[in-house]
Amino acid sequence: MNTDVKAIVHLGSSHPSTGYTVHVVDGSPIGAVHTLQIVQYEGDEGFYLLYLDANDVEITDTYHSTLEAAKEQARLEFGVERNAWRTC
């Protein structure tokens, strides 16, 4: 499954989690998210917002029907403004 990375942002001290969304993986809340990545998979029209740890390992993801919706999710969760994204 080919992956097309659409945008990426590294979360720093200016992007604290707002607690808007609760992510629980395998029964436990997820740890610190260091990077957000929006990707699109071949054959899938949706956009996945990937939550990556310090080693760029995917912790979890959310699905969004548009690129803008994925960015809005990131804004709500981490205060990532539109212009903070690096487009790939």
Q: Which helix (H) or strand (E) holds 35?
A: strand 35-41
What is the C-alpha to C-alpha distance for residues 73 and 76, in angstroms, rounded to an integer?
5
Chain centroid to CA 2? 18
- The site string for another protein over 43-82 (x = CB under 8 A, - otherwise) reads xxxx-x-----------xxxx-x---x--xx-xxx-x---
Report the residue number, 18 or 88, with the smaller CB distance to another protein: 18
> From the list 4, 10, 25, 56, which residue makes contact with another protein (rule: CB under 8 A)?
25
Closest CA to 63 of 78, 45, 77: 45
Residues of the shown chain interacting with another protein in the complex, contacts defined by CB under 8 A? 1, 13, 16-32, 41, 43-46, 48, 60-63, 65, 69, 72-73, 75-77, 79
